[in-house]
Structure 1
Amino acid sequence: MSKVFYLMRHGQTRFNAQSRIQGACDSPLTELGIEQAKAAHRYFKEEGILFSKVYASTQERACDTAEIVSGTSDYQRLKGLKEQDFGAFEGHQEYLNPHLFKDGSGYRHYFVAYGGESNVSVYERMEKTLTEIMEQADPSDCILVVSHGAAIGQFNANVAHNHLRIKSRFTNCCILKVAYESGKFRVLSGFNPVSRESLFEIPEE
């Protein structure tokens, strides 16, 4: 039987606003980030979605977002949901980032030489962690998972089956609705609760 969960990115942080590389390091949510999380909370409330289980990365920005969105402090923090580690690039300006490959492989192995993670290690730990969450879940559970931009991007590009064509960037507090069945993930939809827009276009048959 298929199980469903909601996978979302944290709200805007100080480093996001300053255009700084933020992976293993952390910075707090900005006022805008808090408002983005509140917008996600309102969206779920309007849709009648009440979470029975909530999970977040161990990083402050994800934890704070999870609490605002779910309205509870009763949630699990999991290291496997953390953002990609960018090594020596952490905290520096984003213009120093290397070329981003458009085939879903992100920065590939570039950051490994600087003490960071490869895209493969990121999507493998995301797959492992999300599989463990869903294997432990009941079909009746309504699950929220709060993670990070690059980590979610690698999961979406390399693990989940996604037949949908993206039409907008996966910005702060964007949400993916994902199905899990027989060890496989499938993206059902995506939504930006701030702009109130779908993230994907359904391709014509």
Structure 2
Amino acid sequence: MLELYLIRHGQCEANLLKHIVGGRSNYSPLTELGEQQAKLLGNRLKKENVNFEGVYSSIAERAKDTAKIVCNIIGFPLDQIILSEDFQEQSHGSYEGCLRDDIWTPESLKSWEKDKHNYALPSGESLKNAGKRWYDGVEKYLLNKNGTYAIFGHGTAIRCFLAELFNFTGETILSLHTGNTSISEVRYDNGQWSLKRLNDNSHLK
């Protein structure tokens, strides 16, 4: 049986810029709060005696740094963290870093409303594309393994991956929440995926 911990990064600077289209923002660092959130998660996993056979991370700074903080606490070797572009956030293409009000015009919102799952900004990804990319990464690295593994990634992309596994609609993806350093856990056993928990951030409470 494969057990996957899907962990969103801690709060980063881009999370605070609500008026900006974020997307991948790969160089956005953790805030001081984000670092503290990662430490709380690491302490929780250590207390729960969670041991990972392997750890994977998005190449984004905020995901890598969250993984390093957690792994340092639980004793997983930092040089064994595997970085992969497969586990990046959904791309918003050439619009990343632009003002939301400039991008989400009545016309673009109308197109998005028609098919939220498959709509993509210019040179960006749809929710469907992002979920498929994550699934392909899991298939490449993990689907033939047994044991407990972690992927440190991003809120929207994690939800997109879950949609790929469980056939969620675009509406469902957008209605779910995956908070900073939350754990969503899935299992793969005898060819079947199951969702064990979603957005577990009890270590922050």
Q: Give the TM-score normalised by the residue count of structure 1.
A: 0.79
Q: Shift of residue 108 of structure 1? A: 2.8
Q: Could you tell me whether the CA contact under 8 Å between 1:161 and 1:186 is conserved in 2?
A: no
| AA of the residue aligned to 1:5 | L
| AA of the residue aligned to 2:23 | G
Q: Could you tell me whether the CA contact under 8 Å between 2:63 and 2:154 is conserved in 1?
A: yes
Report matched runs for 1:86-165 at 5 Å: 86-94=92-100, 96=103, 106=116, 108-111=118-121, 114-137=122-145, 139=146, 141-160=147-166
RMSD (CA atoms):
2.8
**Structure 1, unaligned runs of 5 or more:** 197-205
Q: Distance in 1 between matches of 2:191 and 2:40?
A: 32
Q: 1:6 to 1:25 in 2, by over 3 A?
A: same
Aligned length: 188
Q: Distance in 2 between matches of 1:107 and 1:99?
A: 13
Moved more, 39-48 or 165-174: 165-174
Moved more, 182-191 or 126-135: 182-191
**Is 2:72 aligned against 1:62?**
no
| AA of the residue aligned to 1:187 | L
**Structure 2, unaligned runs of 5 or more:** none
- Determine helix, strand or coil for the equivalent of 1:110: coil
- Determine helix, strand or coil for the equivalent of 2:56: strand
Match of 1:203 in 2: none
Q: Distance in 1 between matches of 2:166 and 2:117?
A: 19
Match of 1:200 in 2: none
Q: Specify which structure has the higher proportion of helix.
A: 2
Q: Distance in 2 between matches of 1:126 and 1:68?
A: 23
Match of 2:87 in 1: 81
Match of 1:9 in 2: 8
Q: Distance in 2 between matches of 1:169 and 1:119?
A: 15
Q: Could you tell me whether the CA contact under 8 Å between 1:39 and 1:193 is conserved in 2?
A: no
| AA of the residue aligned to 1:175 | I
Q: Distance in 2 between matches of 1:161 and 1:186?
A: 12
Q: Give the TM-score normalised by the residue count of structure 2.
A: 0.79
Q: Shift of residue 10 of structure 1? A: 0.6
